[in-house]
Structure 1
Amino acid sequence: MKQILLSIVSLMMLLTGCNKANSTNPTPTTLRVEGSMTVDGRLRTYLINLPPNYDESTGFSLVLALHGGGGKASQMESDYLLTEKANSAKFVIVYPEGVQSDGALGARTWNAGTCCDYAVEKKIDDVKFISLLIDELLKKYPKINPKKVYATGMSNGAMMSYRLACELSNKIAAIAPVAGTQATTQPCKPSRPVPILQIHSELDEKVPMGGGIGIFGFYFPPIQNGLNTWVANNGCNTTTKTVTNFTKYSITKWGSCNNSSIEFYLTYDGGHSWPGGLHNRTAADAPSTAINANDLIWAFFQKYQLP
């Protein structure tokens, strides 16, 4: 693969939104746990946060939050404020981590199909990891409702969420990719319709909305290609598609999608970043202020569960 010789600096910038982790993490509590498991001989790690009322209720939703290439669990938690949202909205959130490269700084990536880098080169079975992780968390935390498991992700993590929808539709109720496209190499044949909420910026040059060469020479399919795949998978009626334009963003929705839906939020500001997140590095794209990804994603997830 021609990306093998990418420098470690490039890897650490690759598709994360390029944000340096915030130095102030959420206050540690006994509800925030660093975990690990061995999959195919590799130690895989994750960070899980239980909301404050976990011991007082049942039927919790579980949201898988997948970092971008070169990111990690704590970086995603800090930069995108997802744990704060999980605590206030009362859902369980887990930040799985991709495999580390052999480089000195150990950049982490996901095998989402054609992207990205080390995980693809080593043919890491990240679908297996996520599947086993879901099983383990449902066993460890029985108050989680197995019908309410969702996936979101940034960039390479967004691409991984698409792959999970294709291959783990029996476990994932809905997905919400941010700043990433569908990059699977095999035909996408889910066992059921999967609701999709796509968030992207028209100013994103690292994963261009219209497709093409992005960051460090990677080719990315157009965002619309992935959406078209799911319009077909979910049996949506294309004649009922609606586009609503606002000053800073637009919303496209497809109707009659077999007990699911497909929604696409396109912002006119921001870039390769998480709308409503923090801007922790000057050289990184500023997050969109037109929408708040966390609020939209959680509102979307709450509408769906597995049959």
Structure 2
Amino acid sequence: MKAWIAALVVPLLTGVLAFGSAARADCALGPAGATQTRTMGQTLGQTGRTVQIHTPRGFDPQRPAPLVFLLHGSGGTGAEILASSRLAETADRHGFIVIAPDGGIPVERGFVWNVPGVPTIAGKIPGPNDADDVAFMTETIDALADQGCVDRSRVYATGLSGGGRMTSWLGCAAADRFAAIAPVVGLRAGRPDRRDPQRPDPATCRPSRPMPVMAFAGDADTTNPIQGGGAPYWSYTMHAAEQRWAQLNGCAAPRPTVWVTAQVYEEGYAACRDGADVVGRITAGGGHSWVADNDAMWAFFAARTRPQN
């Protein structure tokens, strides 16, 4: 385990870990049903990264719980997305831990995520000296799992806009660590192909295993429109992203389009390898905001675990 993660877990977990020890202490995340702010040191770029950690009501420190990473939009913070998404309330109902970190790259009043090859809202492509957000999250998983807080087979990610794109990238780059992903107004399947921007470049998303995907969007979103267009990284449509994930997951058939409420319809692909279905939930008239149904998201997550080697 890298040196910085040892510095992370002491203030994060308010306890001392015995790495490599046969004995495992109870998880020391803090009071059940509470949200805490922690500052975590790390050496892969910016230091002093802040995270919000919500421990659900009824949390048993002797039983590893599912974990959901909640990623803010570009220029935002973990505290803002935790409040606006209301995912902590969902966690209390269903018993999972939520971690909402700040992104690794400071910009304007908040932070952005390091999606390789994709410019941030400041117009800069992240470089080798910028924080490695994938490493940050995967090593955070290891720290919490080593403490006995988190079930490694039940780790998930969701995020809004730029956080949705980062969530998509986790599906591409860290499929061996996440059981499912749920981008919100941010589903991608790699960068647009330079020769044909209307489709994803297959070389830029190569997950190591099928990745279950549930994506949420609004059909009136003008920032990341489901019809494609907008910023260069958003050239292809949401449907093209769904189709590419279906190819990656070996899905056998399209799902019939079904209206699940008077304003929300569901589409996607089914009969996929290892249960890695691809589901799109689209809100008619929905804009660039948290249009996710949190309980539906959790139902999708809860039905899936990551195979253990």
- The 5 A counterparts of 1:98-177 are 98-101=103-106, 103=108, 105=109, 107-113=110-116, 114-118=118-122, 121-123=125-127, 124=130, 125-140=132-147, 142-177=148-183
The aligned counterpart of 1:198 is 215
Q: CA deviation at 1:39?
A: 3.4
Q: CA deviation at 1:55?
A: 3.0
The aligned counterpart of 2:205 is 188
Between the aligned residues of both structures, percent identity stands at 29
Q: Give the number of the structure with larger relative contact order, counting CA–CA contacts within 8 Å between residues 6 or more apart.
A: 1
Gaps of 5+ in 2: 1-30, 192-202
Q: CA deviation at 1:31?
A: 5.7
Aligned match for 1:75, one of 80, 93, 96: 80
The aligned counterpart of 1:207 is 224
Once the two structures are superposed, residues 125-173 of structure 1 have per-residue CA deviations (whole angstroms, 9 ceiling, x without a partner) of 2212222222222234x13210000000000000001100111011000
Count of residue pairs brought into register by the alignment: 259
Aligned match for 1:234, one of 245, 249, 266: 249
Describe the SS at the equivalent of 1:40.
coil
- Over 3 Å counting, the alpha-carbon distance change for 1:295 and 1:102 in structure 2 is closer
Contact 2:34/2:54 (<8 A) preserved:
no
Q: 2:105 aligned with 1:89, yes or no?
A: no
User: Structure 2: which amino acid aligns with 1:71?
Assistant: G
The separation in 2 between residues aligned to 1:293 and 1:267, in whole angstroms, is 10
The separation in 2 between residues aligned to 1:190 and 1:119, in whole angstroms, is 27
Aligned match for 1:59, one of 56, 64, 85: 64
Q: CA deviation at 1:183?
A: 6.3
- Over 3 Å counting, the alpha-carbon distance change for 1:266 and 1:102 in structure 2 is closer
- The 5 A counterparts of 1:279-298 are 293-298=293-298
Q: 2:296 aligned with 1:302, yes or no?
A: no
RMSD: 2.4
The separation in 2 between residues aligned to 1:100 and 1:169, in whole angstroms, is 23
Aligned match for 1:266, one of 274, 282, 291: 282
The separation in 2 between residues aligned to 1:29 and 1:88, in whole angstroms, is 10
The separation in 1 between residues aligned to 2:82 and 2:35, in whole angstroms, is 14
The separation in 2 between residues aligned to 1:258 and 1:234, in whole angstroms, is 6
The separation in 2 between residues aligned to 1:72 and 1:64, in whole angstroms, is 13
- Over 3 Å counting, the alpha-carbon distance change for 1:102 and 1:299 in structure 2 is closer
User: Structure 2: which amino acid aligns with 1:257?
Assistant: C
Once the two structures are superposed, residues 70-111 of structure 1 have per-residue CA deviations (whole angstroms, 9 ceiling, x without a partner) of 1101101111111111122111010011134364x3x31112
- Over 3 Å counting, the alpha-carbon distance change for 1:119 and 1:302 in structure 2 is farther
Q: CA deviation at 1:57?
A: 5.4
Question: Which range moves more in the overlay, 84-93 or 203-212?
Answer: 84-93
User: Structure 1: which amino acid aligns with 2:112?
Assistant: T
Gaps of 5+ in 1: 1-26, 276-291
Q: CA deviation at 1:263?
A: 0.8
The separation in 2 between residues aligned to 1:205 and 1:67, in whole angstroms, is 19
User: Structure 2: which amino acid aligns with 1:230?
Assistant: W
The separation in 2 between residues aligned to 1:118 and 1:135, in whole angstroms, is 32
The separation in 2 between residues aligned to 1:119 and 1:94, in whole angstroms, is 27
Aligned match for 2:258, one of 238, 244, 248: 244
